[in-house]
Structure 1
Amino acid sequence: MLPPRRFPVLSDAGLLIGRLAIGVMFVAHGWKKFADTGHSEVAAGFDELGIPLPDAAAAFATYVELLGGIALIIGLLVPLAGVLLAANMAGAFYYVHMDQGFFLDKGGYEYVMVLFAASLLLAGTGAGRFSLDGLIWGRRREDASERESVPA
């Protein structure tokens, strides 16, 4: 059993700041695909890159980035959003950035790697108290612990 955290509010504040920053980045990229570039252009670009099922992949990337980013920002279903966003970044790494080296200025994978790791981190830790997940699931945990402590 892990010892209780000394200042849990700091961890929850850190999760909030991280979720907001990462969520904004994903929303920006998803919005660009959705509104600026458009599905047909994204799918054509994915086809040129050799990504299988480019239409489906373009829809997946666009909506996972847009909706997953929003989910991170508001803190709703963060473990699921984190896994889907990490999968999206794994695809970006494999199909686009892997052979370009590490550094972003050369088309490398450093940014994709950070977003992948951050998405998995949030998938594993959850959203924290300052989130819709915290409001919804935190109350359910409190209710369950109260029922367990009441003698029968």
Structure 2
Amino acid sequence: MPQLVRDSVLLVARVVLGVILVAHGLQKVDQGVSATAEGFGAMGIPLPEAVAVLTMAVELGGGALLILGLLTPIAGLLAAVILAGAIVFAHLGNGIFAADGGWELAAGLGVGALVLAVVGPGRFSLDQLLVRRR
């Protein structure tokens, strides 16, 4: 695979995944911590208020970091962990399909985040820019 194609695909993947995470974070912020925590508690998530705040931070901050390609391994890993929790607590019992509340969307996003954490952001990223400056 030519390097330009690889880096372009990583850029598109980062931006799309990051935008989806930020959008979901904004939904939770719009609902508020209390309402989000209440929903998390109803799903059996332990420490729902703390997890609500953490989830909002990872979705908003981690999503923004992925878009920028900054601290990509950390942002990708944190997003994957949050999405794994979403699968276990909210989606696993609903089958595969997202239309039925299933796990396919969370799994796809989580695996994408994990791949970015392992492979890296590509050349068109702030991570790469900072490495080149050193």
TMscore range, shorter length: over 0.9
Alignment check: 8 A CA contact 1:75 1:132 kept:
yes
- Work out the CA distance in 2 between the residues paired with 1:71 and 1:109: 24
1:28 corresponds to 2:23: yes
Return the structure number with greater relative CO, CA threshold 8 A, min gap 6.
2
Q: CA deviation at 1:9?
A: 1.1
The residue number in structure 1 matching 2:71 is 77
- Work out the CA distance in 2 between the residues paired with 1:101 and 1:138: 45
- Work out the CA distance in 2 between the residues paired with 1:59 and 1:132: 26
The residue number in structure 2 matching 1:13 is 8
Whichever of the two has the greater Rg, that structure is 1
How high is the TM-score relative to the length of structure 2?
0.97
The residue number in structure 2 matching 1:99 is 93
Q: CA deviation at 1:32?
A: 1.1
Q: Secondary structure at the match of 1:76?
A: coil
Segments of 5+ residues of structure 2 without an aligned counterpart are none
How high is the TM-score relative to the length of structure 1?
0.86
Segments of 5+ residues of structure 1 without an aligned counterpart are 1-5, 141-152
Number of aligned residues: 134
Q: CA deviation at 1:139?
A: 3.5
Deviations 1:40-62 (A, max 9, x none): 10011111111000011101111
Percent of aligned pairs with the same amino acid: 46
Q: After the TM superposition, list the runs of 4 or more consecutive aligned residues in structure 1 that deviate by more than 6 angstroms.
A: none
